[in-house]
Amino acid sequence: MLKELNKPSRNAPCPCGSGLKYKKCCLGRDPVLNEQLKDLYFRKFNIRLKGPQDIEGIRAAGRLAVAALDLAGQHIKPGVKTDDLNTLVHDFTIQNQAVPAPLNYRGFPKSVCISVNEVICHGIPGERILKNGDIVNVDVTTILNGYYGDVSKTFFVGTPGPDARKIVRVARHSLKKGIEMVKPGNQLGDILVLRVGQQADIEAVVGRGDAQHVFAAGLDGELQPGQ
């Protein structure tokens, strides 16, 4: 009886964390088959499918990362050094009993990645002073209770020019289209953002091998609930 009371209703969010209704996701699935799927997925892709407790831990880490990112964003203005933003994020993360994941990762010397203008990603904060019209990406990753939260946002410093507005607008649209494809049953390659940039006459910068291979629709690796 207690087990039945704790069972989610058909229209409730599925406890696996997929974002689908329970009836559209895990209702009726054989728990033995679920465990077999988890084992198969781990052996094939070295990815452990997450349960409800794991997903809540990831969400908590993500919420903290968002708070740190928002704090940094409030201080982005002309005249601010990127290292000052690093100090803000570092201190805030430590004060919340978490760890700044980038710090000392493979020798990375800072607690947040800050990339200005021509720096594509994973920029190292330092003495660079922000000026009016800059594009600044802040990438925050926190470790809270063993779970990682990873968030990133691009900011304008002061008043941006038309080219800056265009590239950020297209990048955000590409991100949105990619997120729309993140759902159970789709393939890794279906998270396709490359064409969006090409259609806007903006060159994609890829750092993971040949783009035609990496960004191929239907690329092997089916997305699963709890991944």
Residue count of the chain, please give it. Answer: 227
Q: What is the model's pLDDT at position 30?
A: 52
CA 49 to CA 226: how far, in whole Å?
5
Q: Strand ranges (DSSP E) for 40-183? A: 99-100, 113-116, 135-144, 147-156
Q: Is the pLDDT of residue 209 over 50?
A: no
Strands 113-116, 99-100: pairing is unpaired
The answer to whether the pTM exceeds 0.85 is no
Q: What is the pLDDT of residues 183-206, one digit of tens each?
A: 887 777 766 655 555 555 555 554
Please, which pLDDT band fits residue 144 given cuts at 50, 70 and 90?
very high
**Token pair recorded at residue 131:** 């000026």
Residue with tokens 């201190």: 91
Name the band, by pLDDT with cuts 50, 70 and 90, for residue 164: confident
Cβ-contact 137, 114 below 8 angstroms: yes
Interior/surface letters 63-78, b for 16+ CB within 10 angstroms, e for the rest: ebbebbbebbeeebee
Enumerate domains of the chain plus CATH numbers: 2-45 (no CATH), 50-160 (3.90.230.10), 162-222 (no CATH)
